[in-house]
Amino acid sequence: MTGPDHDTRLIEVAARLSVAPAGVFVAQRTAAAKDAEDRDLAAAIRGLRKPVLAAWVVNLLAAEDPQALAPAVELAEAFRDAADAGDARALAELTTRRRGILHDLVDRALALAADNGVDVGATARAAVEQTLDAALRDPDAAAAVASARLLRPIEATGMDRPDLTDAVSGPFDAGSAEPGGGDELADRRAARDAARAAAEARRHAETTEKQLARAEDRLAAARARVASLEERLAEIDRERARTANDLDAVQEEAAQLTEERTAARDAARRAKKAAEAAST
């Protein structure tokens, strides 16, 4: 049978197993399954997986020094809000704070691992840093880390929600794991969603305003070209009218000169005939 009690018991077992030394994980899981109150719970316990080394190290920190992660939740919320609002200055300030906190958290986690007789290599250390960095960037990642039941490293950019698929052992809801659940959580999520929508609307408005400004500039340039071409066309029309008038005047002058030439030719012919007649 499954239900709230089943999930609560499964979470308790998952939390205990998630910090168990690798050499005793299977034995502790088997014992927990035998102690289960019913078959469904026993089957669920047997299905719990062992965390990878980096996740185990982070689980140690979350389980043994939970107060060390207290700044993570606040910083992750601030990161999400700044990213949603597109506040570059706030993101830069938070990034500076994050580096200092992250360095301290990684050192504490590795010290706890050393106290438990585990030497963490460079690859696992990088995964530990990546996971704790995610907790400082994103509230859902912070909730997953705070659960102390991580199965694998996680990653977050502060812009998109992290992929927490199969990242936590046992039942896990990032929303319910965040501090201040209930109405306060819903209000906070609604406020984040509203901030994200407002930021997106502002970005869209800025984009459309820039597009409008470019369109207005192109329209003004086109209108200026139209005015210039219209003026050139008007000047051509005026020049055409002047040319037509000049043509009419020249044609009229040519017709008059043609008549004068004809008259002169006729007069010359008559004079020639008269001279010939006088000489005979």
For residue range 202-260, what is the model confidence (pLDDT) as tens digits?
A: 566 677 778 888 888 888 888 889 888 888 888 998 898 888 888 888 888 888 998 88
Query: What pLDDT score does 164 carry?
Result: 92
Query: What pLDDT score does 203 carry?
Result: 62
The C-alpha atoms of residue 110 and residue 273 are separated, in whole angstroms, by: 138
Contact of 69 with 178, CB cutoff 8 Å: no
Phi/psi for 166 (5° steps) reads: 55, 30
Q: Quote the tokens at residue 118.
A: 């585990």
Mean pLDDT value of segment 76-81:
75
| Choice among 140-144, 181-185, 261-265 with the minimum mean pLDDT | 181-185
| Choice among 44-53, 171-180, 182-191 with the minimum mean pLDDT | 182-191
Query: What pLDDT score does 87 carry?
Result: 77
pLDDT category at 85 given cuts 50, 70, 90 is confident
Query: What pLDDT score does 215 carry?
Result: 86
Average pLDDT, the chain: 83
Domain ranges of the chain: 7-179
Mean pLDDT value of segment 157-181:
72
Residue 202, amino acid: R
Percent share of the chain, pLDDT over 70: 86
- Enumerate long-range contacts of 192-195, CB under 8 Å, 24 or more apart: 192/80, 192/81, 192/84, 195/81, 195/84, 195/85
Contact of 120 with 233, CB cutoff 8 Å: no
Q: Quote the tokens at residue 270.
A: 């008559």
The C-alpha atoms of residue 74 and residue 179 are separated, in whole angstroms, by: 10
Query: What pLDDT score does 177 carry?
Result: 47
- Given a cut of 90, is residue 168 above it in pLDDT? yes
